[in-house]
Structure 1
Amino acid sequence: MTVHFEDCRLDWLGYATVRIEGPHGTVVYLDPGRYGVLDDYAETDGDLVCVSHIHHYDTDGIGRVARDDATVLVHEAVHHSETDRDVTPVRDLPYDTRRVDDELDDLIDDVIVRTTAAYNHPDGPHTRPDGTPIHPEGTGCGFLLDFDGTTVFWTGDTDVLEGHAELDVDLLLAPIGGTFTMDREAAADLAEAMDPGLVVPIHYDTFPEIEADAEAFADDLDTRGVPVSLDADVGKR
């Protein structure tokens, strides 16, 4: 799916993988790879690659999208020992690789990159059988990207958190799959509170546990007066 919004082009490539091209040609990828979403993809045009947490750390995916001189941001809690997948240790990635926490505020290339907390509430529905959150606090982040005044927010794998609604967001990438993240109802409530220029749902329908009714999500937002795109080009607000 391709969306044009303000002076940015956004391509949702499946699962949590998003490509954003800014007004000056800078290309950013968010959480590239996993579950075959990049099997037939080899653009290798990414100037900046952002990895939110261990579940989205896919070094084959990074290699498919990143330029040789790319900057790669990886959350500080990501470690190859935390997954049974065959991945390259972060320290061995052949890029300008930087560790980030959930309080980054920096200019990288011509994009202002901020990070936000991303986790599941300990007393919420997204916990393991032993009661621990699927995404504990401190193990991941979201990314708030400012492209020359247009802000794009990928929440990361998270529940709705205190402070989300106060963020100044033009384009919201909302996970709607539930099970591991907010579901479509919670995402719709957040979108209404944020009042962005456009919402694009992601992180759904890749596998059974995150199947979601995207049409119902869009209808819900339509009744609230919040613009949403599922499968078509969209212009300025």
Structure 2
Amino acid sequence: MDNKSIEINVQNNIANISLNRPEVFNSFNRDMALSLQHHLDECENNSKVRAILLTGNGKAFCAGQDLKEVTTPELNPGFKKILEEHYNPIISKIRSISKPVIAAVNGVAAGAGANIALACDIVIASDKASFIQAFSKIGLIPDSGGTFFLPRLIGFQKASALMMLGDKVSAAEAEKLGMVYKVIPSEVFSEEAVKLAEHIALMPTKALAMTKELLNNSMSNSLEQQLDLESKLQIEAAQSEDYAEGVAAFIEKRKPNFKGK
């Protein structure tokens, strides 16, 4: 596994994960896809990690699949492996991991790169970022959960048009459509992304994990099923150390010290 294709640094309870193939706009090859999965698993099992910040080194967030890999016979894993062993597991891990995952989209996010960002819990974008459902331009269909998340984020009609036409969406337009939480000026983007991650890492992350579970289930649950799950998880949250600390801090008029327990 090529560990250089992904950089990871754990500090202040945050795992900073950077896609690190800037010379090809952080496009994915097999080593990079497997390495990202490995690091996500490490983060899930590391109690010191309470939030994950995913970004890209260089000018791009991620340009999707490295087309050189799929057009070089001795390198090409084939689309079955690429989907079933690369992208699908990445999306599943982002959604199932019990830590909040923030996508800090610093530049272009195209194809699978865009859809990996949209699968994250919170998406922030530099004002120089852009999003492209680039698949139709080369005769492919959107993958990496794009057909699941994008219609839910921006509506069926807009998602259909963006996927079929392959239009580039600016950061400002992405915010207007509801694809991203916030756009941040590029000159302070890295610092603000870290501040956001530090802030969320100090929150009651056990409750945030339950919130994530509820949101995941809301995609398929009926209202009655969702209400039942809310009841179950709220009872569990009310028994947590973080709840006790939050109430005590409120009564004592002080800042809470949450531990994610």
TM norm. shorter chain > 0.5? no
Which has more helix, going by share of residues? Answer: 2
- Provide the TM-score with structure 1 as the length reference: 0.31
In our comparison, the structure showing a higher alpha carbon Rg is 2
Which has more strand, going by share of residues? Answer: 1
